[in-house]
Amino acid sequence: MSVFHGAACYPHPMKRVCSTLGTALLLALFAALLLVAAQPAAQAQTRALPDFTDLVAKADPAVVNIRTTARAVARGPYGGGGGQDPYELFRWFFGPDFVPPGRGPRQPTPPGNNDEGQEVPRGVGSGFFISADGYILTNHHVVNGADDIYVTLTDRREFKAKVIGSDERTDVALIKVEAAGMTPLKPGDPTQLRKGEWVLAIGSPFGLDSTVTAGIVSATGRDTGDYLPFIQTDVAVNPGNSGGPLLNMRGEVVGINSQIISRSGGFMGISLAIPIDEAMRVADQLRSSGRVIRGRIGVQIGEVSKEVADAIGLGRTAGASVGMVEPGSPAEKAGIEPGDVILKFNGKTIERSSDLPRTVGETKPGTKATIQVWRRGGTRDLSITVGELEPDKAAAARQDEGGGQAQKTNVLGLVVSDLPAARRRELRVRGGVQVDAADGPAARAGIRQGDVILALDNTEITGASQFNGLVAKIDRSKVHGVLVRRDDLTQWVPIRPTR
């Protein structure tokens, strides 16, 4: 006999069924409650994750792929151009007429082949528009040494660009395409960046244009000993990303992706970007004058260690320790001495030695400033007139034998000096000049410091003055032959001048 009393069930088998159903209902209810409770937490987590889609859609048209090329002289017999000839490396240094030992004379190169040369790929990088009329920011190392620069937009349009100016010290370059209605990026404030903040990069890693990668700010003001403090991120940046923008979550450009710290050459989680405010200051000067004008005072400096600070009574590790004062420099005229510690420049505290060249570099040459130094247990203020830093770091270190003035490379990319008589006797040559420095066209042709130049085209070289006079009159639209002596080997090297 079975009787129902409310929720009770009889007999015993039915009681077991009802009990099971009740437990299942309780479990289902508990699970539903957990699900409802978990929804706000899941929604909060979803809201915390960034969505880059709208940001990328707005910024992507402003980012460009930069492809650079160089002019290579066509190779004749024994050259091949495919890298199969074991003597191709010698021709890269000594020109297409190099004859391997034991082989017959080279066949004449077909007329015209050496006049124009061939356009060969040189490198790939990135950049971004900073104005609607075609001005583009990128890295110096992306465009340095290129004969031609091509800019490709995301809509596949391609333009040939010209270099407005390029600054090696900061690795910033300004180029321009003849176009209107471009999409510029809005500069942000890199001083407001915080560790852990989301940022992303757009560029052409390994030539894969319009690639987006994201990460966080790892550090700000990262000091590498260069003229600029960098923004360090863990954004995936690889070869080809150089010159592309680093963007914050508002779509503003806060930096130019410039360097990676890597043992393999690929991304390893440490990327460095040039702060956009520093880059824009450089770009403004490049746009107005084609170069960056910096101040200098003429000292070699180092860090102040805790041990040194304690020993000289400074009390804290700050300032820049003066190791050497250049003769005749503004620092010498101001009375700065080796062993001084520079604590302030024009009222700005020098916390680290790297602060000094940045602070002085931003000062207009000719400015009268006050410099505070720590000397023999006390501070003293000195008056100094800021000089001008040489535009080319390499040229600043090169001096001619007479006036002691820094020389710049000529249109062939060469700085030369008269060949000493002892060297002429050693080489058994009548004349010639020695190469003190080579960059640009000469460096690409394989000429290097220490080589001896014996002839230019059909003219024998007798001295540096005569050589520079000949170079000043050459036709820049043609390739010219330079007869180069290196050790016991003499060969013609073709060079295309800069235009």
Residues that are catalytic: 141, 171, 242
Residue 192 CB contacts under 8 Å (≥ 6 apart), including other chains: none
Structure tokens at 175: 């180029």
* Amino acid letter for position 237: V
CA dist 270 and 94 (Å) reads 40
Say if residue 288 carries a ligand binding annotation: no
What's the count of helices (H) and strands (E) in the chain, helices before strands? 13, 26
CA dist 102 and 322 (Å) reads 59
CA dist 140 and 227 (Å) reads 14
Within 7-76, strands assigned E span 63-72
* Count, residues in the chain: 499
Specify the residue for token string 């860090």: 303
Positive/negative CA dihedral, 265, 266, 267, 272: positive
**Helix or strand holding residue 284 (H, E):** helix 276-289
Residue 210 CB contacts under 8 Å (≥ 6 apart), including other chains: 60, 63, 65, 154, 202, 204
Determine how many CB atoms are found less than 10 A away from the CB of residue 50. Answer: 12
* Amino acid letter for position 432: G
188 contacts 176 by C-beta, under 8 angstroms: no
242 contacts 123 by C-beta, under 8 angstroms: no
CA dist 96 and 88 (Å) reads 9
245 contacts 201 by C-beta, under 8 angstroms: yes
Say if residue 240 carries a ligand binding annotation: yes
CA dist 64 and 154 (Å) reads 7
CA dist 67 and 173 (Å) reads 14
Say if residue 140 carries a ligand binding annotation: no
CA distances to 51, 192, 235, 254, 471 from 55, rounded to whole Å, are 8, 19, 16, 14, 52
Between strands 135-138 and 118-129, the pairing is: antiparallel
CA dist 396 and 380 (Å) reads 31
Say if residue 242 carries a ligand binding annotation: yes
Binding annotation for substrate: 141, 171, 240-242
